[in-house]
Chains A and B, each alone.
Chain A
């Protein structure tokens, strides 16, 4: 009887510790996540006179001539980037974990390095990389037929260019995380597979990738959210090219223009809510399909 009580007391104590740890995060989440999102939803549903306008702001924004192109740009960009990210990160993490054990620590550090730069700084690095006249790989760009920065960043190239920048800055961190996840797979499992005659490819396909599924799902959810909310990269490339990239290339840039060029925070909020819904839907689909939160 008393033993059970003691266990229960220990349990509540542990739960209390848990709550204490979560509380700090919860405060930040409320202050910088939930409250601003709530305020954005309030703004999106009202006008400057404070009247409720229903979905009026949403339909007005959807009718903007820049709305369709902005989402189309982001769509192409996400399609390229997510595929490259998943294939690249999983592939490199598996290679690091399997074949390159001796050099792996150095390689992990190298992969991670670009991610340690602040986002803006890494975009600036790429502005130089992509200008044939100053780039260290200028010969490669010249060989591809590009002699000026303007030719490299013509609108058709942008989704690819931005995907390359995003991969370079973002993939390293994920490779390190995936590597950690691979370390969590029990060695005896891999050993047993090897004894049964499975090669590295079969092990990757049948054991490692299925066991990484939740990590991949988690990465895709976050990458989708950051990708659909792209702002800094097109904004900086636009500034550097003296405007050759439209200042409403991505939906987030369009929202910025609404807020600060048209002084229309309500339409800007409606666009932000569109992006929030998009991210939530993507997350919901992936969470339910991958069983990300299943405990068993």
Chain B
């Protein structure tokens, strides 16, 4: 905040002279304009590979690692297993919920010319698109440092948000593929079958509303609702079709079918417009969750840790299909990644840490989220079965869903979550329908994309 104090001399002649001088200065500025305004320091949004020149390397240079509190124990485990590596561990919010913390800091370091962390964990896939922008060039290409066999060990498409111009710029920590979570105990006691299609899901929702009012089968008040429902419905709301070109068409039948399905269920109160992480939801609704379409991390993070649903009740089914569609797809809510800084003076050690964090069973098998690295995922699933929390083995649903993520939803430079949360959620809270908000949603995506240099079609 700037406190302003001005000393104006209330003298008419002097004021007039000042005004004339100010007008002259303004005119001079307008005339002197020779450059182009509004050009960001970056070259806009381009999918071409950024330039990379490693800094002078020093194999004993200490590593600064930025990590969120969830992944912190992993880095501490790495330090324990590798006492020879000098680590400076910094915890931050992991850029969750569309926070710009990493971007803010890195761009300040860019201006200062020093201070960058060597390895960074981010929960925000959009960060990777940003980190590879020409002009930012924060992410180092990892192809020369991580063996090709290791890169091939990641799940299908897991590294596609990391890949630009044929080079890999990050290692995915986890996948957040959407599955159908359900409370097996409740479903059995109500005598319901787990649906296999969205049509059956809607029919069951209407039945629940009539027979067991108060119970819910989904939520749309979360920022990631578009990634749960509209991504799975193959709605073209977020499709990079050419470099710097975004296709947005929320009027497509693939969007409207999901909107009207949800509107029906919202009207019946079988789908809640609240967010699963609100204090009210945990208190009033958590025990009445019959089904919840959502990411793989819902199991431990939401049902176990937040809702405190007792062990032996929660199970996961494969993603819902659309009856009539030839293939079944699902969405993806986040899925973090490790980025190695292009400015690092010790790329070898930095890459080794990122590789260990993403691929080693020692850490990934016990992590809270589903590992993106296939061998680690197998160990993780075995471990989940050992915890005994789930009513059934979640492995079949998780493994199937991991290969079903629709590739038509791109990682853009901006967060779709922020747009949905600020545009659609408040309208739903006030009783409007999703169908009536599709136009406003489209406009909000278009405006945001254009402001960041995308051509929107």
Contact = CB atoms under 8 A, between A and B. Distances in A.
A150 B33 contact: no
Contact of B35 (A53, A149, A150, A279): A53
A48 B422 contact: no
A283 B6 CA distance: 7
Interface residue tally on B, bucketed by range: 35 or more
Contact of B34 (A51, A149, A259): A51
Nearest to A252: B1
A151 B429 contact: yes
Contact of B223 (A46, A53, A242): A242
Nearest to A149: B278
Main DSSP-derived SS at the B contact region:
loop
B50 interface: no
A229 interface: yes
Contacts, number: 175
B4 A280 contact: yes
A152 to B, nearest CB: 10
Interface string B429-457: 11000000000000000010001110000
Contacts of B104: 259-260
A46 B264 CA distance: 53
A211 interface: no
Contacts of A283: 4-6
Contact of B41 (A51, A53, A55, A265): A265
B3 interface: yes
Interface string B1-43: 1111111101000000000000000100111111111111110
Interface stretch (B94-102, B375-383, B401-409): B94-102
A52 to B, nearest CB: 5
Contact of A226 (B1, B34, B280): B1
A180 interface: no
Interface in A113-149: 131-134, 147-149
A247 interface: yes
A276 B3 CA distance: 10
Contact of A225 (B3, B34, B274, B413): B3
B277 interface: yes
B6 A284 contact: yes
Contacts of A263: 40-42, 103, 107, 133, 135-136
Given A33-B3, A222-B3, A247-B418, A149 B279 contact: yes
B287 interface: no
Given A57-B38, A60-B37, A225-B1, A65 B32 contact: no
A21 interface: no
B221 interface: yes
A123 to B, nearest CB: 15
B386 interface: no
B222 interface: yes
B417 interface: yes
Interface in A25-53: 33, 36-37, 45-49, 51-53
B2 A276 contact: yes
Interface of A: 33, 36-37, 45-49, 51-57, 59-61, 64-66, 131-134, 147-151, 154-155, 221-222, 225-226, 229, 238-239, 241-247, 257, 259-267, 276, 279-280, 283-284, 287-288, 293
Given A48-B40, A59-B37, A241-B421, 15 more contacts: A47-B38, A53-B36, A54-B31, A56-B33, A131-B278, A242-B222, A243-B97, A243-B420, A244-B426, A244-B429, A259-B107, A261-B414, A263-B41, A279-B4, A293-B8
Closest 6 CB pairs of A and B: A56-B37, A51-B35, A54-B33, A243-B421, A60-B38, A133-B280
14 contacts: A52-B34, A54-B33, A133-B280, A133-B283, A134-B279, A148-B429, A155-B426, A239-B97, A242-B277, A245-B422, A260-B107, A261-B100, A261-B413, A265-B111
